[in-house]
């Protein structure tokens, strides 16, 4: 799993994504680009960035922070 630091920008499928910390460190996919149909991958009936090999929950991230991934404009 890739564990990009909060605020970092990385390239994914030729798109620049930015790692954003969730407000109040709550787990939520709201606003994450992987929930839109362009990047959505279904696994067990749920959309999951794990399919993409990215760490987003505090339970698996080194910094213990829930994050989402947004397109960096």
Q: Answer whether residue 2 is part of any domain.
A: no
Residue 42: which pLDDT band, with cuts at 50, 70 and 90?
Answer: low
Structural domain that includes position 30: 9-71
DSSP letter, residue 52: G
Q: For the CA atoms of 29, 31, 35, 38, what is the dihedral angle to 10 degrees?
A: -160
Q: Which two tokens stand for residue 66?
A: 């829930």
Q: Quick one: what percent of the chain has pLDDT higher than 90?
A: 48
Q: Judge whether 51 and 13 are in contact, CB under 8 Å.
A: no
* Structural domain count of the chain: 1
Q: What is the pTM of this model?
A: 0.85
**Does residue 3 lie in a domain region?**
no
What's residue 73's pLDDT?
83
Query: For residue 4, is it within any domain?
Result: no
The β-bridge relationship of strands 46-47 and 67-71 is: unpaired
């Amino acid at each position: 799993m890739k564990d990009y630091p909060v605020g970092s920008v990385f390239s994914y499928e030729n798109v620049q994504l930015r790692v954003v910390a969730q407000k109040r460190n709550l787990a939520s996919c709201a606003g994450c680009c992987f929930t839109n149909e362009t990047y959505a991958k279904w696994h067990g009936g749920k959309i999951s960035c794990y399919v993409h090999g990215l760490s987003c929950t505090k339970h698996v991230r080194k910094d213990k922070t829930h994050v989402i991934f947004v397109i960096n404009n």
